[in-house]
């Protein structure tokens, strides 16, 4: 059964505590690594100049918003998150760097979004599977809200990941228990809990919401020993796998002692010279529908006169 009783944010339902300073630091490092692997904050978008008003939903400590604001000073970028701690930190970064085009608000994205229709050219969402519940239709409801606040012809962009794949036995055992607990909590789309299975769903969410020209691009972070991403991955796991322990206990699939043994064993394996691990991500984006009149006007203006 899902943990949440209704379609609202319950901070106890996260994999980790969103008001944790350790989690904030972890998410900041993770966001930087992901943006680097993706080639930049908007690398796959053919015409980023078309986006003037951009929003990042569930922005965490605001790293992606700040990256966009730095790289594109002519754009207005807004980030929203349910965590007051994250938003306070993001606003502090804005003041420190004197960014006039980055804005942050506390907002629960599982409730109607506090924006007018057609407010943004691009809606960005990254790594939100931890609080999206399949049985509550959290994803379809959120995507419909994204369509509402996106201008016709604008872009909705989703990025999420599957669990890590490694060659280490205790690490794999712990990862397997985590995906099983996530499945039992109602977040996963896998029928048996072996995977999160969120990445195959992203395009479907957009198509079901009426988005057009849906495209995707995959990314992989090599977390293996000796690889560039290994140290960041190891530091991430030191924090994340400790913070996720209450999820295993709540699901009843491990005792505290068992969770501690697995945690220490997994970290030992991650430090081994023969440790190999890959972390897969998928970005999917689609355009909101353009009314026929607007489409004809756009086609007309694009005709080069003789």
Share of the chain above pLDDT 70, in %: 89
Per-residue pLDDT band at 204 (split at 50, 70, 90): very high
Q: Return the pLDDT at 293.
A: 44
The confidence band for 129, taking pLDDT boundaries of 50, 70 and 90, is: very high
The angle subtended at Cα 298 by Cα 293 and Cα 303, nearest 5°, is 130
- Mark residue 296 as left, alpha or beta (left: phi above 0; alpha: psi -120 to 50; beta: remaining): alpha
Q: Look at 80 and 33; give whichever has higher pLDDT.
A: 80
Q: What is the pLDDT of residue 3?
A: 32
The domains found in the chain, sorted by start residue, are 11-289 (3.40.50.150)
User: Across residues 142-146, what is the average pLDDT?
Assistant: 98
CA angle 214, 80, 107 (to 5 degrees): 115
* pLDDT above 80 for 5: no
What confidence tens digit (pLDDT) does each residue in 39-73 have?
999 999 999 999 999 999 999 999 999 999 999 99
Model confidence pLDDT, tens digit, residues 266-278 = 999 999 999 999 9
Q: What is the pLDDT of residue 110?
A: 94
pLDDT tens for 214-233 read 999 999 999 999 999 999 99
Closest CA to 110 of 257, 19, 10: 10
Give the residue with greater pLDDT, 29 vs 168: 168
Phi, psi of 213 (to 5 degrees): 50, 45
Tell me the pLDDT of the chain averaged across its residues.
90
Is residue 247 scored above 50 in pLDDT?
yes
Q: Which of 233, 160, 166 is nearest to 197 (CA)?
A: 160
In sequence order, the 6+-apart residues with CB closer than 8 A to the CB of 175 are 163, 164, 166
Residue 17 has pLDDT above 80, yes or no: no
Q: How confident is the model at residue 292 (pLDDT cuts 50, 70, 90)?
A: low
Torsion angle in degrees (nearest 10) through CA of 292, 295, 296, 300: 170
Which pair of tokens denotes residue 159?
């990025």
Summarised one tens digit per residue, pLDDT across range 180-189 is 999 999 989 9
User: 4-18, 27-41, 191-205, 285-299: which range is least confident on average?
Assistant: 4-18
């Amino acid at each position: 059964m899902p943990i949440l009783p209704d379609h609202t944010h319950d901070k106890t339902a996260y994999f980790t505590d969103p008001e944790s300073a350790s989690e904030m630091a972890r998410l900041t490092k993770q966001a930087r690594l992901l943006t680097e692997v993706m080639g930049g904050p908007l690398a796959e978008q053919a015409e980023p100049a078309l986006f003037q008003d951009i929003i990042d939903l569930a922005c965490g400590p605001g790293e992606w918003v700040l990256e966009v604001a730095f790289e594109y000073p002519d754009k207005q970028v807004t980030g929203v998150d349910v965590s007051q701690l994250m938003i306070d930190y993001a606003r502090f970064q804005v003041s420190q760097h004197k960014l006039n085009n980055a804005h942050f608000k506390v907002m629960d994205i599982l409730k109607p979004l506090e924006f007018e229709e057609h407010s943004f050219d691009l809606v960005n969402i990254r790594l939100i599977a931890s609080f999206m519940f399949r049985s509550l239709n959290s994803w379809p409801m959120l995507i419909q809200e994204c369509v509402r606040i996106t201008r016709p012809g604008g872009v909705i962009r989703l990025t999420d990941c599957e669990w890590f794949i490694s060659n280490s036995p205790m690490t794999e055992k712990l990862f397997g228990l985590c995906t099983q607990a996530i499945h039992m909590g109602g977040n996963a789309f896998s029928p048996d809990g072996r995977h999160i299975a969120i990445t195959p769903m992203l395009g479907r969410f957009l198509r079901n919401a009426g988005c057009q020209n849906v495209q995707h691009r995959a990314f992989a972070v090599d977390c293996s020993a000796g690889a560039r991403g290994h140290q960041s991955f190891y530091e991430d796991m030191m924090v994340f796998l400790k913070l996720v322990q209450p999820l295993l206990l709540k699901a009843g699939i491990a005792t505290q002692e068992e969770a501690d043994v697995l945690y220490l064993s997994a970290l030992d394996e991650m430090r081994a010279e023969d440790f190999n691990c890959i972390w897969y991500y998928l970005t999917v984006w689609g355009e909101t529908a353009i009314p026929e009149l607007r489409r004809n006007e756009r086609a007309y203006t694009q005709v080069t006169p003789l």
